[in-house]
Amino acid sequence: MPPEFPLGVNERLMTLHLHLSQNQRATVISAYTPTLDSHEEVKESFYSDLNSALASILRDDKVIPLVDFNAPVGCDHEIWSGTISKNGVGKPNAKRILLLTECTQHGLNMTDTVFHPKDQLKTTWRHPKSEHWHLLDYIII
């Protein structure tokens, strides 16, 4: 099959369908979420487009999300069972509901919350004003 070109959904989201060996396919999703101070309409539009992109992926495709979510998901593992586990960190921000909802709807798991590292090794970003540490970088499968 001829290679497919990346499909730009908007300025923050693109997909790329790859043909793999043995009739397998993978879909790469590259996205950069709006920041917390973005207008609500921008955030809602982004997550709507992300949901559409995820929903359009064939069930047998492998999904490779390359996404900067800028959203701490916290550690509410009872509420988000199957998406995060008890090893999350801190308090989530407002965007976490959108992120967790998307992951839950599409059967995606945030693996970084599954592993059991020491507490001081769990965080990846320090807020410049509050100086609180957060886990923002996830491996989603």
Residue type, 34: P
Query: Rg of the chain over CA atoms, in angstroms?
Result: 16
Q: Are 45 and 33 in contact (CB under 8 A)?
A: no
3-class SS at 65?
strand
Which residues have CB under 8 Å from 112's CB, separation 6+?
135, 137, 138, 139
Residue 52: its pLDDT value, please? Answer: 92
Q: Are strands 25-32 and 13-19 parallel, antiparallel or unpaired?
A: antiparallel
Residue type, 65: P
Residue 118: its pLDDT value, please? Answer: 67
Measured between alpha carbons, how far is 108 from 51 in angstroms, rounded to an integer?
12
Axis crossing angle, helix 96-105 with helix 40-55, rounded to the nearest 10 = 10
Residue 13: its pLDDT value, please? Answer: 93
Residue 49: its pLDDT value, please? Answer: 93
Residue 95: its pLDDT value, please? Answer: 64
Low pLDDT (below 50) residues in the chain: none
pTM: 0.70
Q: Are 46 and 16 in contact (CB under 8 A)?
A: no
